[in-house]
Amino acid sequence: MSLEAKTIDELKQIAARYPQPRSGLLPMLHLVQSEEGRITPEGIETCAEILDLSPAEVSGVATFYTMYKRRPVGDFHVGVCTNTLCAVMGGDAIFERLKQHLDVGNDEVAQTREGDRATVSLEHVECNAACDFAPVVMVNWEFMDNQTPESATELVDDLRAGVPVESTRGPRLCTWREAERVLAGFEDGLADEGPAAGPASLAGLEIAREKQWTAPSTGVGEGE
C-alpha cells in the first residue's frame, strides 16, 4: 500500500529544508512512522525516490537507529533506561517489574485487556542524558523522572486506561504517532508546556550564582 499524497508532499517539504536533501532523511523517517506506525517498505522506497538514494541506503539508516521501528509499537512506547547509573539506581528492577506486569519481552506490545483505551509497548533504552533524575523512564521520548517499580507500574496502568499523564519535564503525553510527527518537524503547539528543567539540573548553576563564580575569559572577541 502506497503512502497518501499528503504524506508524500510533506516528505518533499522536509527534504526541501536542507541544502543537501539527503540530510532530511532522519525527520522523513519519523514522518513515515507518524503515518504508518513503523518504517514500512513503502516508506523506505518513497524516501529513497525523493532523495535520489537507493532503498538499501535508506534501509541502512532505518535499521541503524533503534528509534526507528520495523514493527508496530503501542500508542505509548515506554522506554526504561538500563544504562549504568539508572540500572544501579533501580532501572533494572523497573524494567523487570514492567516486563512481568505487562507480560512482554523487550520491544514488544502488551496485549490489550478489557477496558483498555490505549496500547503500551516496552523497551530498554540506553542513556537518556538524564542521569541527575535516575532512574528515568521515557514515554514517547518524554521524561518520567525518579521512577520506582511501583510508580512505573502505575504509569503504564494509567496510560492503558486513557488517564491523562504529564511528563515531569515537558508537556502532557501524546500518542506515539503524534510524537513522531513532532520529531519530523511539524509543531504541535506544546513546546512551551511544562517545565524544561528541574532542580537537579540547575543545582550547579544555583551554586555558581551563590558563590559568584564565573567562567574564565577566553579573550575571544574582546577588543573588537
Domain ranges of the chain: 5-64, 76-172
Strand arrangement, sheet containing 137-139: 108-109, 120-125, 76-81, 137-139, 142-144
Q: DSSP secondary-structure letter at 111?
A: P
Going by C-alpha positions, the residue among 59, 20, 57, 53 that lies closest to residue 39 is 59
pLDDT at 30 over 70: yes
Comparing 32-41, 80-89, 189-198, 212-221, the range with the smallest average pLDDT is 189-198
CA distances in angstroms from 209 to 119, 202, 214, listed in the order given:
46, 11, 8
What was the pLDDT predicted at 219? 67
SS3 (DSSP) at 93: helix
C-beta neighbour count of 144 within 10 angstroms? 25
Judge if 5-64 and 76-172 fold alike in CATH terms: no
What was the pLDDT predicted at 200? 81
Cβ 106 vs Cβ 123: under 8 Å: yes
Question: What is the mean pLDDT of the segment spanning 116-133?
Answer: 93
What is the third-level CATH fold of 76-172? Glutaredoxin (3.40.30)
Q: Please state, for a pLDDT cut of 90, what percent of the chain lies above it.
A: 80
Please tell me the CATH code under which domain 5-64 is placed. 1.10.10.1590
Question: What is the mean pLDDT of the segment spanning 20-34?
Answer: 97
Q: Over the chain, what is the mean pLDDT? A: 93
Give the whole-angstrom CA distance, residue 185 versus residue 12: 13
pLDDT at 223 over 80: no
pLDDT tens for each residue of 103-115: 999 999 999 999 9
pLDDT tens for each residue of 153-198: 999 999 999 999 999 988 899 999 999 999 999 988 777 777 777 7
